[in-house]
């Protein structure tokens, strides 16, 4: 005997299908409960349950006193792969291992598929970093170390995201920012923090951008690997098999 | 002014922390509402809200009339990366692109880190597939095509998962089964279905297992790429840039 799906679940799936088809857009407000009840010919109670189901799948969010809206990334929670539940000693090296596999190839794709505006954006971010470096060298900065550190990370993530977007691979665009954000939260060692503020940080990114602009696939791969590995060293992160894995090809 | 977190959210985070620390195990039942209310010194109402929050993050699930239990993969929904919300024409080639980047490297890791029992399990699955092939050749099978097709996919996924596990990379273990399951749902073309039942399907997997046992990194990469590419051809899936991307290294 197959159990019948609940009415509320059926309604939730119908609303979800509308969102997938774009009939209700991202960020848009759902119709009022009464309207939905009339549309699907069910009780208000069933509509409420359906909405709860959609909330639990991060498809819609309730803004108290305002209404129910389609999430900006429907279906994706803040921690979709459950990193919170992993042992940090495992999470660290595993994330870097996957990043080493994906990121160099994604940057190669970016070189071949990217638009001029993606690369211009990346170049602008580097100019901002260099400006910050100069200010710091002249001790003109009124910002605290903690503020600078935060700023550097924001620049770093925006820089990398330019290339994820340029790669035009939607899955990479969902997985890699997640990995980068998680690594960011893990990098808390003092040596890593001070490196963030060094001029090397700037030049390393500049070299990658140059290789991408030159569409030099092998150089892109080499520089990306070096960059990720150096990052883990500065962050005092241990890689899994220091020698064995993901050998240079 | 920083807004104070809700009491229910605080309690939810405390329960979540207990699960992370292993004080409440996966699959275990949460204490009764009254007990939790006493433990955290809050109202039953706050406990109910906290549980709803945990449900919405797929950390616990309510089994009606039985109780509230920690999910088997806490924090991960059925569709954590929101594939349901992607255009299928985009999803297809992007998934295969990412699989081409990750899977060959994961199989190389599996070769070096895997335990004998992982490989024995993979070998057993191949024996089962061969047995099925023989039965089919002798027309002894009482099963419908649809049933056989289903069975082949189950064998296929179990086979690949042996190596994901053998790689000892927890992130790969979360991402790759998700990708494989999604591709499975997409592969519905008749040519693909008939190929699943051909002896080639068996021999291709056997060749990969042999290369893994021989720890021949380059051969593993080559065979994995070939396997994924053939799969997409049989499934009549178009790859993104047929020539340009992810060139053999």
The region of weakest confidence among A236-240, B24-28, B121-125, B171-175 is: A236-240
CATH code of domain B83-234:
1.20.120.530
Strands (E), B9-150: 60-63, 67-70
Q: Categorize the per-residue pLDDT at B34 as very low, low, confident or very high, splitting at 50, 70 and 90.
A: very high
pLDDT: is B247 or B189 the higher one?
B189
% of chain A exceeding 90 in pLDDT? 51
A82 chain-B contacts, CB cut-off 8 A:
73-76, 80, 174
Name the minimum distance, in Å, from the CA of B127 to any CA of chain A.
Answer: 30
In this prediction, residues B8-18 reach a mean pLDDT of 93
Cα–Cα distance measured from residue A23 to residue A17, given in angstroms and rounded to the nearest whole number:
9
In this prediction, residues A222-237 reach a mean pLDDT of 80
- Any CB–CB contact under 8 A between B90 and chain A? yes
- In this predicted structure, what is the pLDDT of residue A146? 74
Structure tokens at B2: 């920083």
Structure tokens at B152: 């082949």
Cα–Cα distance measured from residue B232 to residue B209, given in angstroms and rounded to the nearest whole number:
20
Cα–Cα distance measured from residue A58 to residue B105, given in angstroms and rounded to the nearest whole number:
32
- In this predicted structure, what is the pLDDT of residue A127? 93
**CB atoms inside a 10 Å sphere around CB B145:** 13
- In this predicted structure, what is the pLDDT of residue B248? 34
Q: Are A66 and A210 in contact (CB under 8 A)?
A: no
- In this predicted structure, what is the pLDDT of residue B246? 39
- Any CB–CB contact under 8 A between A17 and chain B? no
A247 chain-B contacts, CB cut-off 8 A:
217
CATH classification (class only), B7-70: mainly alpha
The region of weakest confidence among A4-18, A83-97, B63-77, B233-247 is: B233-247
Rg of chain A (C-alpha set): 23
Cα–Cα distance measured from residue B108 to residue B225, given in angstroms and rounded to the nearest whole number:
12
- Any CB–CB contact under 8 A between A109 and chain B? yes
Of the candidates B158, B156, B241, the one whose C-alpha atom is nearest the C-alpha of residue B193 is B156
Of A76, A98, A249, the CB nearest to B249: A249
Cα–Cα distance measured from residue B30 to residue A68, given in angstroms and rounded to the nearest whole number:
30
Of A16, A76, A95, the CB nearest to B171: A95
- In this predicted structure, what is the pLDDT of residue A23? 92
Segments making up each domain of chain A, as ranges: 7-70, 83-234
Cα–Cα distance measured from residue B169 to residue B173, given in angstroms and rounded to the nearest whole number:
6
Q: Categorize the per-residue pLDDT at B243 as very low, low, confident or very high, splitting at 50, 70 and 90.
A: very low
Contacting residues for A47 by C-beta, under 8 A, at least 6 apart: A8, A11, A33, A36, A37, A40
The CA-atom distances, in angstroms, between A7 and each of A13, A19, A43, B171 are: 10, 19, 10, 36
Structure tokens at B51: 């549980």
In this prediction, residues B127-154 reach a mean pLDDT of 76
pLDDT over threshold 50, residue B112: yes
Cα–Cα distance measured from residue A223 to residue A211, given in angstroms and rounded to the nearest whole number:
8
Strands (E), A8-128: 60-63, 67-70
Does the model's ipTM exceed the 0.90 cut?
A: no
Q: Do B82 and A55 touch (CB under 8 A)?
A: no
Phi, psi dihedrals of residue B141, rounded to the nearest 5°: -75, 130
């Amino acid at each position: 005997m197959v159990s019948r799906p609940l009415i509320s679940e059926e309604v939730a799936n119908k609303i979800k299908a509308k969102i997938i088809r774009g009939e209700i857009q991202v960020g848009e407000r759902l119709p009022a409960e009464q309207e939905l009840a009339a549309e699907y010919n069910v009780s208000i109670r069933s509509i409420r349950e359906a909405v709860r189901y959609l909330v639990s799948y991060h498809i819609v969010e309730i803004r108290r006193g305002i209404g129910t809206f389609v999430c900006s990334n429907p279906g994706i929670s803040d921690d979709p792969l459950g990193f919170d539940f992993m042992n940090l000693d495992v999470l660290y090296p595993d994330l870097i291992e996957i990043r080493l596999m994906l990121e160099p190839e994604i940057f190669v794709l970016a070189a071949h598929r990217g638009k001029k505006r993606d690369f211009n954006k990346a170049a602008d971010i580097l100019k901002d970093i260099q400006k910050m470096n100069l200010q710091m060298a002249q001790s003109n900065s009124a910002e605290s170390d903690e503020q600078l550190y935060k700023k550097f990370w924001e620049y770093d993530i925006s820089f990398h995201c330019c290339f994820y977007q340029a790669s035009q691979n939607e899955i990479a665009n969902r997985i890699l920012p997640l990995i980068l954000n998680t690594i960011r939260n893990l990098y808390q060692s003092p040596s890593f923090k001070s490196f963030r503020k060094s001029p090397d940080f700037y030049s390393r990114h500049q070299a990658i951008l140059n290789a991408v602009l030159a569409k030099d696939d092998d150089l892109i791969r080499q520089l990306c690997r070096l960059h990720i590995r150096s990052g883990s060293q500065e962050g005092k992160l241990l890689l899994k098999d220091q020698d064995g894995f993901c050998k240079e090809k």
